[in-house]
Amino acid sequence: MEKKGTIISLILVFVIAGSAIAFIVFSGITANELNYIQLEINPRIEFLCDKKNKVVSYKPLNSDARILLTGVEYIGMDIEQATTDFIDICARAGYIDVNGNDNAINITVIDGITQALNVHVTQSIYKYLKENEIMCAVVENSEDLNMYNTKKENDVCCANKYKLMSTIQEFMPEKSIKELNKLSEVELIDIVYKLHKEYEYTPTENDIALKTKLIDFNRVKYETHKKAITTDTQREFSKLYEEYQKYSTPRYMINFEKSYKEWQNNHVA
């Protein structure tokens, strides 16, 4: 009986291992030369970084991000520093309300099987928010229930791959999800890299003026908030922030895009 049980156990191990290998090969997440990161606050931006976590390219995904990137250079910067710097620009420009409690960031990271970069980027964002005492829900795209259901309906292996494909579609509308789904994540990231190389951003005078106007308008609020931070407020905020994440984040995990549009309708004139 023991011998029979051992054989069955070995068979199960091989089956599980075989399934895992098949998933990895199909997804193309074995040896990413480049990793993909997307932040969505309202300004949306995507980064590509190398194995040393240095930014090799980036691109604004909407007009708000394009304006905020005026005068900014992220090439060669550590990805953790680049993502938190962009979030800080959003806070200084008022896209994140430093005194509010209804902010949200959606994060999408594709970084191979270990997902180590995902942890580092997410933790660095948490650290920035805590140090600057900003109440903000942090939602990983893979936790978005609507995204999960959508990827399932389209027979896509994971939510982050679907997000990557739908983002590519915005700039290559002739490509269908079905067609893109035949490609591995590595191949999809290669497409993104080519799109980044083809993209040339030269800020207009209007872009420069708009960024200056946004930051100037929000300057007093931002600086007053920063000056009020002390060792005592940090201890208190750390406790409040943990509770905030527990009750606020789940609301955005149901359907981030819909929840954020509702926020915009209530807060943007």
Give the dihedral sign, CA 44/50/52/57. negative
Q: What is the pTM of this model?
A: 0.84
* Per-residue tens of pLDDT for the chain, all 269 residues: 555 555 544 444 444 444 444 444 444 444 578 999 999 998 999 999 999 999 999 999 999 999 999 999 999 999 999 999 999 999 999 999 999 988 999 999 998 766 789 899 999 999 999 999 999 999 888 888 888 888 999 999 999 999 999 999 999 999 999 999 999 999 999 999 999 999 988 889 999 999 999 999 999 999 999 999 999 999 999 989 988 988 887 777 666 666 666 655 565 54
So what's the pLDDT on residue 17?
A: 42
CA-based nearest residue to 108, from 50, 193, 37: 37
pLDDT score of 143: 82
- CA distance linking residue 168 with residue 85, whole number of Å: 24
CA dihedral 49, 249, 215, 70 (to 10 degrees): 20
d(CA 95, CA 145): 25
- DSSP conformation letters of 68-81: HTTT---TTSBHHH
Tokens found for residue 264: 């915009």
pLDDT of residue 259: 63
pLDDT given at position 70: 95
- Are 68 and 89 in contact by the 8 Å Cβ rule? The answer is yes
Q: Say what the pLDDT of residue 57 is.
A: 97
Burial class for 3, CB neighbours closer than 10 Å (0-12, 13-18, 19+) = exposed
Report the pLDDT value the prediction gives residue 18, as an integer from 0 to 100: 44
Look at phi and psi of residue 71 and say left if phi exceeds 0, alpha if psi is from -120 to 50, else beta: left
Q: Which helix (H) or strand (E) holds 46?
A: strand 44-49
Report d(CA 92, CA 221) in Å as an integer.
9
pLDDT at 260: 61
Q: Can you give the pLDDT at residue 264?
A: 58
Domain map (residue ranges) of the chain: 1-27, 35-267
Instruction: Say if CB 260 and CB 139 are below 8 A apart.
Output: no
